[in-house]
């Protein structure tokens, strides 16, 4: 049954189309009529009925123009002693009383975004927003624990432009704390060693991937120099910030999502020979091959300053750095990743130390005693209860040629030492941290957030504290 309007009345004068020799229905194949009625004892306002239609695919030649039409309506007030029917002209619809359906393309591909992430990085804390022609068509979609996001419902045409905008559920403070674990003293020593500034002459033989070069190229001039290493050291010491500030936030300027193939093939040769660097911004275009029943866009993740690949995705076929276990009489050898302060760390070995807190002359004193030799760099990040204690100073006994540093921010002390020529830090009570506070016991007031260390080859060590 298909509706034909009575031309003597407006099409949207719905009671006229019903009551006054209104429009008419004619048998037409494929057309049906539905009648909706609502009754209320307390009055009707707002939307009182919602109709949903399932669109059938009737083929490429089917005409979907004006295929839903509102034809007539009657409104009656029954609150009095007899029904009052609203008259002609008082029951009206919209100027256009028909709906034209524009069917989407018949696309059957399942579309996924997948990440090959480092086990030290919680991939569920990052995700994407799907943008269509520059406007978001999804909310924040986060990776599941397997590193996957299904974006099939949001990429629905082959003719529009889509991008993936990477986001994080971390706030700025939480992301900065993550970077405290990523950029550490062993990144500095490894970079110095690559540049031959660590007393061993290993120029250009330590890094194995272009990702490492890009991570520590602090001024983005495609030329790794000692200044980049010293900038990295300055960042670890707290005196320089190597993370750019373009006003878009710390996440956008330190997180480097890169398509997997580009990540794996970004070589040292390409870095040094000015080959165009792969897109590592937080915005990536995506072009789906709809000829495939399932399409996946793979990503790997890098981080600014992460020379030793502690949190960056590994490059297929190589380690993130040249760390390998080797024989040594001075410390225990680590041939597989070892857990240290919540991280899986691949290191050259495990060194020993002792950590203690005590009350001395009315002050809380935290002491690190280093028991192992052939240690050239050492870093601690120590949290303390700043509602009870006040940081006073850090005292070092590391050797005459060692550079020491200490700074405090929001209840965390960052301190460390590095022998920049690859020499050794003295053993014994190397760090003492002094706090003021009217307390009778130091228990529970000072704790270690993380540690890092490197050997005289510039490679990473795990500090095991007793």
In this structure, are residues 67 and 100 in contact, taking their beta carbons and an 8 Å threshold? yes
pLDDT, residue 26, reads 87
Q: What's the pLDDT at 335?
A: 46
More confident residue, 198 or 106: 106
Q: Where are the domains of the chain?
A: 1-103, 110-303, 332-465
Is 376 within 8 Å of 455 (Cβ atoms)? yes
Strands 110-115 and 294-303: parallel
Cα gap 205→461, rounded to integer Å: 19
Q: How far is CA 241 from the centre of its chain?
A: 21
Q: What pLDDT was estimated at residue 199?
A: 55
Q: Between 27 and 125, name the one with better pLDDT.
A: 125
- Percent of the chain scored above 90 by pLDDT? 58
Distance of alpha carbon 320 from the chain centroid: 20
CA distance 369 to 354: 5
* Among the ranges given (66-70, 317-321, 405-409), the one the predictor scored with the smallest mean pLDDT: 317-321
pTM for this structure?
0.76
Contact yes or no for 189/458 (Cβ under 8 A): yes
Q: What is the mean pLDDT of the chain?
A: 87
For residue range 324-337, what is the model confidence (pLDDT) as tens digits?
333 333 444 444 45
Q: What is the predicted pLDDT for the residue at 98?
A: 80
- In this predicted structure, the answer to whether residue 49 has a pLDDT above a threshold of 60 is yes
HSE (CB half, 13 Å, CA atoms) of 284? 25
pLDDT at 339: 53
Residue 359: predicted pLDDT:
96
Question: What's residue 325's pLDDT?
Answer: 30
Give pLDDT tens digits for 158-203. 999 999 999 999 999 999 999 999 999 999 999 988 888 765 556 6
Q: pLDDT per residue over 126-153, tens digit each?
A: 999 999 999 999 999 999 999 999 999 9
Asked whether the predicted pLDDT for residue 321 surpasses 60, the reply is no
**DSSP conformation letters of 53-94:** -PPP---TT---TT-EE------EE-SSSS-EE--TTSSB--
Using one digit for the tens of pLDDT, what is the confidence trace for 215-246? 999 988 999 998 999 999 999 999 999 998 88
Report the half-sphere exposure of 198 (CA within 13 A, side-chain side).
29
What is the DSSP annotation of 17-41? Answer: HHHSS--EEE--TT----------S
The residues, ordered by sequence, that sit 6+ positions from 374 with a Cβ below 8 Å of its Cβ are 328, 330, 331, 424, 455, 456
Highest mean pLDDT among 51-65, 271-285, 329-343: 271-285
What average pLDDT does range 10-20 have in this prediction?
87
What's the pLDDT score for residue 202?
A: 60
Buried b (16+ CB within 10 A) or exposed e, 67-87: bebbbbbeeeeeeeeeeeeee
- Under the banding of pLDDT at 50, 70 and 90, the label for residue 269 is very high
pLDDT at position 355 over 60: yes
CATH classification of 332-465, choosing from 3.90.79.10, 2.60.40.680, 3.30.565.10, 3.90.550.10?
2.60.40.680
Model pLDDT, residue 327: 30
Give yes or no for residue 375 having a pLDDT over 60.
Answer: yes
Of 129-133, 324-328, 383-387, 430-434, minimum mean pLDDT range: 324-328
What does the pLDDT average to over 362-373?
Answer: 96
Per-residue pLDDT for 323 more than 60?
no
């Amino acid at each position: 049954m298909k509706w034909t309007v009575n031309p003597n009345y407006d099409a949207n004068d719905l009671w006229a189309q019903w009551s006054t020799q209104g429009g008419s229905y004619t048998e037409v194949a494929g057309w049906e009529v539905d009648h909706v009625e609502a009754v209320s004892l307390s009055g009707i306002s707002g939307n009182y009925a919602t109709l949903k239609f399932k669109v059938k695919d009737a083929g490429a030649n089917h005409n979907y123009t004006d295929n839903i039409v509102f034809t007539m309506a009657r409104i009656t007030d029954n609150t009095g002693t007899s029904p009052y029917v609203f008259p002609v002209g008082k029951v009206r619809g919209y100027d256009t009383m028909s709906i034209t359906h524009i069917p989407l393309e018949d696309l059957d591909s399942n579309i996924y975004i997948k990440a090959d992430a480092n086990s030290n990085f919680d991939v569920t804390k990052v995700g994407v927003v799907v943008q269509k022609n520059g406007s978001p068509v999804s909310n924040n979609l986060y990776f599941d624990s397997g590193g996957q996001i299904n974006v099939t419902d949001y990429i629905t045409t082959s003719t529009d432009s889509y991008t993936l905008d990477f986001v994080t559920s971390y706030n700025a403070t939480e992301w900065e704390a993550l970077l405290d674990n990523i950029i550490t003293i062993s990144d500095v020593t490894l970079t110095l060693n690559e540049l031959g500034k660590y007393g061993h002459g290993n120029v250009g033989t330590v890094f194995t991937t272009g990702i490492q070069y890009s991570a520590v190229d602090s001024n983005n001039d495609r030329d790794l120099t000692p200044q980049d290493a010293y900038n990295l050291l300055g960042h670890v010491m707290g005196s320089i910030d190597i993370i750019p500030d373009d006003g878009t936030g710390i996440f956008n300027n330190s997180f480097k999502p890169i398509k997997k193939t580009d990540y794996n093939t970004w070589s040292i040769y390409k870095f040094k020979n000015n080959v165009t660097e792969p897109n590592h911004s937080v915005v990536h275009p995506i072009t789906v091959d709809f000829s495939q029943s399932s399409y996946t866009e793979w990503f790997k993740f890098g981080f600014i300053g992460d020379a030793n690949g502690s949190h960056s995705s590994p490059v297929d076929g190589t380690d993130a750095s040249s760390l390998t276990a080797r024989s040594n009489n001075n410390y225990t050898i680590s041939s597989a990743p070892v857990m240290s302060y919540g991280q899986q760390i691949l290191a050259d070995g495990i060194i020993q130390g002792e950590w203690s807190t005590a009350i001395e002359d009315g002050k809380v004193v935290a002491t690190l005693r280093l028991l192992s030799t052939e240690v050239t760099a050492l870093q601690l990040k120590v949290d303390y209860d700043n509602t009870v204690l006040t940081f006073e100073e850090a005292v070092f006994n590391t050797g005459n040629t060692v550079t020491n540093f200490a700074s405090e921010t929001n209840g965390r002390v960052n301190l460390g030492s590095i022998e920049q020529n690859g020499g050794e830090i003295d053993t014994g009570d190397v760090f003492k941290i002094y706090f003021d506070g009217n307390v009778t016991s130091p228990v529970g007031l000072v704790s270690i957030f993380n540690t890092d260390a490197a050997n005289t080859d510039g490679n990473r060590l795990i500090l095991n504290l007793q």
